[in-house]
Amino acid sequence: MLAAASAVGAEAATVSFADAMAILSRDCGKDVGKYCKGVPLANNGIGNCLMQNQAKVSPVCIQSLAAVRASIAERLAAQAEVLKVCRGDAARRCQGVVQGDAHLLDCLLKAANTVSKKCNAAITNAGWR
């Protein structure tokens, strides 16, 4: 369902939080209604409920939940790594840009044609493109 990339700089098929909710609604909606009705969304309540009822939940839902969790984890990891991966590109292409408030990211996005493949992949994997 969702491809993951293990090599640094390779593009991964990470999903946004909105897309994750759409996938889980589609693939797990019936199971949530049946086994997790009234469970709060906060603190991953629905995901935890589905896993606690894994033996009863549809295989499609369990697969989608695992894929979405992996993809979101990969996206969060990519977001944490972007500045490290893009440090050299930022030094070359974004001199004088004040860090903070996404100014550096905006510069890297505008310079996409001239920054490294690794940096571009990191930005994409982070969901910022």
14-67 per-position pLDDT tens digit = 788 899 999 999 999 999 999 999 999 888 899 999 999 999 999 999 999 999
Return the residue matching tokens 């790594």.
Answer: 81
Distance (Å, whole) CA 70 – CA 40: 22
| Domain chopping of the chain, boundaries | 17-125
Burial 1-22 (b: 16+ CB within 10 A, else e): ebeeeeeeeeebebbeeeebee
| 55 CA to centre of own chain | 27
User: What is the pTM for the complete model shown?
Assistant: 0.72
Distance (Å, whole) CA 2 – CA 45: 23
Amino acid sitting at position 78? A
